[in-house]
Chains A and B, each alone.
Chain A
Amino acid sequence: MGKTITRREFIKTSMAGAGLAIAVSLTPCGCRLLSAGEAEREAKAFSPNVWLKIGSDNIVSVIVNKSEMGQGVFTALPMIVADELDADWKQIHAEFAPAADKYKDPAWGRQSTGGSSSVSHMYEPLRKAGASARQMLLAAAAKTWGVPVSECNAKKGTVLHEKTERTLTYGELTVKAAGLAVPQNPPLKDKDLFTYIGTPLPRLDIDAKVNGVARFGIDTQVPGMLYAAIARPHAYGSKAVAFNQDAAMKIKGVRNVVALQTGIAVCAETPDAAWEGTAALKAKWDKGAEPGLDTESLRKRFLADLDREGLSARNDGDAKAALARAAKKVEAVYALPYLSHTTMEPMNCTVRIGPDACELWVPTQNQTGVLALAQKETGLKPGQIRVNTTYLGGGYGRRFETDSVEEALKIAKAVKKPVKLIWKREEDMQHDFYRPANCSQVEGGLDEKGRLVAWAHTIVCPSIFARAFPDRVKDGIDPAAVEGLKNLEYEVPNISVRYVRIDTPVPVGFWRSVGSSHNGFTVESFADEMAHAAGKDPLEFRVNLLKNHPRPRRVLEVAAEKAGWSRPLSGGAEGKGIAQVFSFGTYVAQVAEVSVDREDGIIRVHRVVCAVDCGDVVNPAIITAQMEGGILMGLSAAMKEAIAFKDGGVATSNFDTYPLLRISEAPKIEVHILESGEKLGGIGEPGLPPIAPAVANAVFNAAGIRLRMLPMTPTTVSEAMKKA
């Protein structure tokens, strides 16, 4: 499980193929089972489609086309197949899919993992895959026994003929089943007949991860490989003016020096020699594109751009007029910093290029992107390139980017040897595609009865999509920048949302929960401000704005009820706050209980109660873990994280300057899953957005200070306390 496939095995499996290969593609009318017709018949394995393979040893291999980065797809996706197949969970084995057209996410037309969409996109295709295989196995058994299929039943990996008490395991039926036609529209189970879906099955990757044998990208070992390290400039757009190649080559073990667009690579027999080599280069760099760029200059640019008119992303009613006649108006500016992904496994990639084959081992969220890059760099055809997806030591969107893959390919091509490129933590932190910094100006208006009648929102934010998916930028609006604003569900008659795109040299990318990671904070903090301005309870105020929106209303009510919203606080907490954010198809509400130390400005979060409605539930244990993880990562960002800039580049470099949440700061968390039976939503990201506003609202409740800038560090709190 999860081990890297050797080249020999690769050739063996790809040549041998499978009994009959069927791809499942999603059309506007639903799923369609297609004959892939590219694989040759294999005598003993039964592979009715590309997603599963049953061996004569009775092992069911589920091919997972999504990257396992902690969110549990390596378990959840096999559960879906196993359920419709009526397999025994003990016979299920998960395998990472190589990069290939047939493994593309049918909803996206690409093989990548993101947007908390793995389960919702793969749910129907994998159910169909399991169900069609089950039908074929039943038919094969019936044929073997010469009985009608209707008299046969499948259970736990075995077909039974009750009348004659005969049984055959799936493994015993593979040869016969492989010869049968693939049912195009196998009936799917009724939800109440599920055996695995909806249960907290243990994860398939735990044993390997507990025993240190799970292979991450950085663990790859290829015979004869060199280690590559890169000396990089500090400033954006900076190029090398001079470097001492000879000094690097004199280091024992150093074999090559390769100049790249992004820096100067040194290849050596050991990683220590490679790093010694990069230091020996003593590279001198020019000042770069914008040498004056620093934290303060960026802050000023963002705030100044609030005066620009920007583009209209939403315009309901007439917010301007409604504000003009409002009985009460509130105006506020919110600002959030650039954030680093800081996956615990730094960026890395291992590449081997031969004359007619290329193989990569990479912890990637973007197999389609990796394959395209490898084609471009090597000139080889897709069939000659093998992309081995390893386990990912964290992803959070960072591993959608293929920058380190491109570097590794270029280096391997230059040195004509297998190469493992490892980024140091400092490179990883200073050369990220950051969660965009942004600021918002929000104006809200209440009528004489304290009802919210106007919301005018201007956001200044860099565009992620302009670089990543330019065709998804419609009318100049970056969909991530206005996520949660354009689709704000609060029933406010007059809403205007304006987007001001700001371009800086700082690259931005997808960071867990993307635009909702910042807009959730702004919207839910401001909703709280409006509730207080109206003299209403923050929960009641929100519920009243959701009369026609039962799902967000319900998560708010459940979180509040479970947290004892109307009861006095206990256990040393001094204030409570509530927030709800819809993101990636899922509604999440959280109540946070905090205390604020007036002396040192330290906020302590005591307890978080979370209610989540992600529609159908595949694995509740994984949902709970993802909610906990989202809350803690969101809390880390809310309390501690900000990238600092200096002299044209990133000043922050490691955990000394970019502290992450530690175990002592983790509050108690309770997760309540609402099984609404609605459309499947995501779970990897939606747990994150509500925590920052829930905490900020709780701080207001505890100490009367409104924190509109993140992170909420002790210094910010102390300054706000002084002003209050």
Chain B
Amino acid sequence: MIHLEINGTRHMVDVSPEVPLLWVIREHLKLTGTKYGCGIGLCGSCTVHIDGEARRSCQVPVGDAEGKKIVTIEGIPESHPVKKAWVREQVPQCGYCQSGQIMQAIALLSEDANPSEKKIIDTMEGNLCRCGTYLSIKRAVRSAAKEG
């Protein structure tokens, strides 16, 4: 049994410790806002917060997440400045990568409330978007920093 704390709720999951956290979140616990995109840590769709840090949940064995505070897109309130900025800037197109983009952006802004253009780009570089919403993402991060 693995004990997990996700979005403030404790869960017990009967799964072997090497299973990627992503699949436990999505399919064992049915928190499907976190997405699978590549399984090798190169697209960022599966980004969650582990003890406040943005991590690719496809690269984290669930056993390593025990005892840590995990936050997924469902654990971020609608009133969060980053979510509000994403709505204001109408960022999503297909929307599939956006949970990961938002989680990455929140981690960035909690570490640096007023990031430079370069810092925004460097931090968001690991999150792919096939629809091409990168320019809206930049606008939304800047807007969240301003309004946040």
Hey, which bits of chain A sit against chain B, CB under 8 A?
69-72, 202-203, 205-216, 218-219, 221, 227, 270-272, 342-346, 391-396, 422, 424-425, 621, 625, 628-633, 636, 654-656, 660-664, 666, 668-669
Contact = CB atoms under 8 A, between A and B. Distances in A.
Nearest to A71: B93
B131 A70 contact: yes
9 contacts: A206-B91, A212-B33, A216-B35, A218-B32, A270-B27, A345-B37, A629-B93, A633-B131, A664-B121
A213 B138 CA distance: 23
B85 to A, nearest CB: 9
B130 A660 contact: yes
Contacts of B72: 212
Given A221-B32, A662-B125, A664-B125, A344 B97 contact: yes
| Secondary structure of the A contact surface, majority rule | loop
A636 B28 CA distance: 35
A342 B130 contact: yes
Given A202-B90, A344-B130, A396-B130, 5 more contacts: A69-B94, A207-B87, A210-B91, A212-B33, A221-B30
A218 B37 CA distance: 11
Contacts of B137: 663
Contacts of A205: 92, 95
A342 B38 CA distance: 10
Interface of B: 15-16, 19-20, 23, 26-28, 30, 32-40, 42-43, 45, 72-74, 78, 83, 86-87, 90-99, 102, 121-122, 124-125, 127-138
Given A344-B37, A655-B38, A663-B134, A209 B128 contact: no
Contacts of B16: 272
A383 B95 CA distance: 32
B87 A206 contact: yes
Contacts of B97: 344
Contact of A270 (B15, B35, B87): B15
Given A210-B87, A211-B83, A625-B136, A663 B127 contact: yes
A425 B37 contact: yes
B130 A633 contact: yes
A213 B72 CA distance: 12
A344 B94 contact: yes
B30 to A, nearest CB: 6
B33 A211 contact: yes
A654 to B, nearest CB: 6
A394 B40 contact: no
Given A69-B94, A344-B96, A424-B39, A212 B27 contact: no
Contact of A663 (B43, B74, B99, B124): B124
Contacts of B40: 425, 654-656
A669 B135 contact: yes
Contacts, number: 168
B38 A666 contact: no
A73 B20 CA distance: 35
In the complex, the 3 A-B pairs of residues with the closest C-beta atoms, listed nearest first: A212-B33, A632-B132, A393-B96
B121 A663 contact: yes
Contacts of B92: 70, 203, 205-206, 209-210
A165 to B, nearest CB: 37
A629 B131 contact: yes
A271 B32 CA distance: 14
Chain A CB within 10 A, most for which of B73, B91, B94, B128:
B94
A284 B101 CA distance: 40
A661 B33 CA distance: 24
Contact of B74 (A212, A342, A422): A212
A429 to B, nearest CB: 10
Contacts of B134: 632, 661-663, 666
Contacts of A625: 90, 93, 133, 136
A631 B93 CA distance: 14
Contacts of B26: 219
Given A70-B94, A394-B94, A663-B125, A271 B35 contact: no
A346 B130 contact: no
Contacts of B93: 70-72, 625, 629
Contacts of B83: 210-211
Nearest to B93: A70
B109 to A, nearest CB: 15
A648 B134 CA distance: 36
A628 B23 contact: no
A628 B132 contact: yes
Contacts of A221: 30, 32
Contacts of A272: 15-16, 19-20, 23
Given A202-B90, A272-B19, A227 B27 contact: yes
A206 B94 CA distance: 10
B130 A270 contact: no
A518 to B, nearest CB: 19
A294 to B, nearest CB: 24
Nearest to B84: A210
B90 A206 contact: yes
Contact of B42 (A209, A214, A629, A656): A656
B50 to A, nearest CB: 17
Given A218-B35, A344-B37, A621 B90 contact: yes
